[in-house]
Structure 1
């Protein structure tokens, strides 16, 4: 019996020595592997700064010593026959350390993604930085909640009741702050879909202005009058948004009328004159058409259509002014008159007798009587 007891003690000591050796070798190998990986990644970054290398560097640097020690301890314990109770507690400890380490890896990867997104949005869309902060916060909360639930589940807790309680509580909170959450998700939708960015000139319903700020709850416009217009993000997305900053070219259509007394030859000449005026108004103009469109109530109506190859409103107005002056100049040079609303009043019987009570004659107010009777006798226009 004494020999067997000594043999058991020797065997146990041997197993402990073997477990200690495996632990030491495993921990040393893991530390060397981490240092080597970090050095190689830094060398590769100096040669080629690929995007995925940033993720790998953060994963290596965020690997905790406690995790490496836990892996080494687990490797060494494979040589020992421990009681079931001790193995169970060791398993719990390892699960906790592994889940926390996985959460740290995910948190670092998320940080790298947010940093790279910040840099890309800083110049093109500064408002996107605010939304990325919200997205990052939400993703981090979800990451650590999932990690906590996994730890509790592996420790033997019944998380079904906990998840149900969180669900009921979440519904209650969501109902209480549904307006705020609606604006929050609308701001995230604006950040992801990008219907507009800061600096764009937009029209929303009856409001128009330049986007100055896109926040978590509201969007702020600077109107043409100078005042600031603050619109809820939820209400903003319910309206149809017209973004003039993204207009590649502007279609311009306008009309003018000339007098009915204009000769037919002059009427035929007008579309060609307008075409030459529009084509000569600048390189940013593309002529489309000019037509004698219709017989108006008091004018021969013409319609002109051209395209501005820029979204700049001031340049458009400069070109339109140049075209208007050109049309005015050319029509006057050719003796073509613009139409004005006119009315012809025939008062032949009144002009002959001078009696306002003659049957069939119309009685007009003094201010509408117009020129002298001798002018009306000849059918002159007023």
Structure 2
């Protein structure tokens, strides 16, 4: 019997293999039982403390922490065996992957949880809420990039030599990524300067719409006619924008014309009529009304007033109410609106 346990199999005795199997399955069984107990205990503790979201922590433990502990058990158990040089390299690589991967996942999940937790705060600015998902992606990419570099360094690769060896290919990649980096810096500029946020009504050149999404590279705007307009962040930061969202009041200028036959007394009354009409409408502030100029076929009045607020539909409702009231008052006073007319003077022929 002793001879059987001393029998060599793949460089290890049978007794070592049996001990390896017992440790492996025993360790996994202990992790399974302890994991279930720990999850229940942590869940009840976090529920009482109400410090951080319970679901996100439990999900992290179930999907990452438990598998990480299983990996540690497997790694320690494999250390009991005498491995060939090839398998020893694989074993060391597995250890590096386990260490670097678990640490990277911990950092990325912690970063993601921190950003998501900040997004749920009511006092945070809308533009920050918009930017946090993008920054979460950028942070995760940077963490994984550092992790890959660290992993390759541990495997013996010279990263500096590899980067230098890219040569012309590296220069080509740098030029190709220039536009992307430019949009990324523009995204950071939008975040820090905060010229607009999701939900703001913007005019970009001759295009107008409401911002629906601000991404790392592009921003999507819903136009007034319904289609989606996609702008690169660089285009927006280099353009002249009109942001109507924070407009406290809207200045409105419009004109009306009356016929030339209107009596002088009524011409003098028109500014006061319009002033009373605008003052009787809520959310407005009257500025002025003047007999502005002599038109081709009308006497033109220019009226200026302010609408309190930035909503476009509100402004249109008020303008409509003003127009209807002016029409009603002019009809009562027999004041006629002008419209394009032409007067033809026909001279009689001599001798007729």
The alignment's TM-score, normalised by the length of structure 2, stands at: 0.59
The answer to whether structure 1 residue 297 and structure 2 residue 294 are counterparts is: yes
In structure 2, the partner of 1:345 is none
In structure 1, the partner of 2:104 is 103
Instruction: Flag the 1:206–1:300 CA change in 2: closer, same or farther, 3 A.
Output: closer
Q: Counterpart of 2:294 in 1: which secondary structure?
A: coil
Give distance in 2, aligned partners of 1:288 and 1:243.
24
C-alpha deviation, 1:68, in angstroms = 6.2
C-alpha deviation, 1:175, in angstroms = 0.9
Give distance in 2, aligned partners of 1:226 and 1:245.
19
C-alpha deviation, 1:223, in angstroms = 4.4
In structure 2, the partner of 1:80 is none
Residue by residue over 1:303-334, the C-alpha shift from the partner in whole angstroms, topping out at 9 and shown as x without a partner, is 33131445042x43232122123223323433
Give distance in 2, aligned partners of 1:96 and 1:270.
84
C-alpha deviation, 1:140, in angstroms = 2.9
In structure 2, the partner of 1:377 is none
- CA RMSD in angstroms comes to 5.3
Q: 1:288 aligns with which of 286, 289, 313?
A: 286
Give distance in 2, aligned partners of 1:261 and 1:201.
43
In structure 2, the partner of 1:319 is 318
Instruction: Flag the 1:177–1:104 CA change in 2: closer, same or farther, 3 A.
Output: closer
Give distance in 2, aligned partners of 1:213 and 1:104.
28
* Paired residues for 1:228-247 under 5 Å: 229-244=229-244, 247=247
Q: Is the 8 A contact 2:255 2:301 kept in 1?
A: yes
In structure 2, the partner of 1:255 is 255
Instruction: Flag the 1:135–1:70 CA change in 2: closer, same or farther, 3 A.
Output: same
Give distance in 2, aligned partners of 1:55 and 1:223.
37
Instruction: Flag the 1:70–1:159 CA change in 2: closer, same or farther, 3 A.
Output: farther
* Paired residues for 1:295-374 under 5 Å: 296-298=293-295, 299=299, 301-309=301-309, 311-313=311-313, 315-336=314-335, 369-370=344-345
In structure 1, the partner of 2:46 is 45
Q: Mark the runs of 5 or more structure 1 residues left unpaired by the alignment.
A: 1-26, 74-89, 343-366, 374-382
C-alpha deviation, 1:301, in angstroms = 3.6
Q: Whose Rg is larger? A: 1
Give distance in 2, aligned partners of 1:165 and 1:50.
50
Give distance in 2, aligned partners of 1:40 and 1:194.
47
C-alpha deviation, 1:150, in angstroms = 3.2
Give distance in 1, aligned partners of 2:207 and 2:285.
31
Q: Counterpart of 2:252 in 1: which secondary structure?
A: strand
Q: Mark the runs of 5 or more structure 2 residues left unpaired by the alignment.
A: 1-26, 78-90
